[in-house]
Amino acid sequence: MQFTTLINVALLVTGSLAYSNNCKGSSNSPSITDCQEAIRRIDEGSDYGDGSEFSVGNCYMVYATNGAGEQKLSGKNIRDTAQSILDSCGHHKGSYGTNNCDSCHVTVNYRAPKKF
């Protein structure tokens, strides 16, 4: 019985440390066309580190580790995570964990278009 209790506590603690997916962001929504273009620009065969940005137009897209170091991640994982946000979150914005570290995530959000 003690062993089962230890496993349950370990699972509870581990589950609470993982990144909490959300569909929050700006009060404005990014262009789905811009977001799809941003996803297309991610090379599935490359690895990316903290702060890698793939933004296009008014669609802000970034892979971040929130202070957990470089934490390289495949472009395929980043693309799949970004696509999940677009498919699952109304208004096409949010942050989803990437499961390679507790604070690692992909964020898709609105950004004001750059003026030249």
R_g (Cα) of the chain, nearest Å: 16
Residue-by-residue pLDDT tens, the chain, 116 positions: 454 444 443 433 444 468 999 999 999 999 999 999 999 999 999 999 999 999 999 999 999 999 999 999 999 999 999 999 999 999 999 999 999 999 999 999 999 977 76
Residue 114's pLDDT is 72
DSSP state of 113: P
The predicted pLDDT at position 116 comes to 67
Report the predicted TM-score, pTM, of the whole model to 2 decimal places. Answer: 0.83
Cβ atoms 63, 98 nearer than 8 A: yes
Indicate the SS3 state at residue 91.
helix
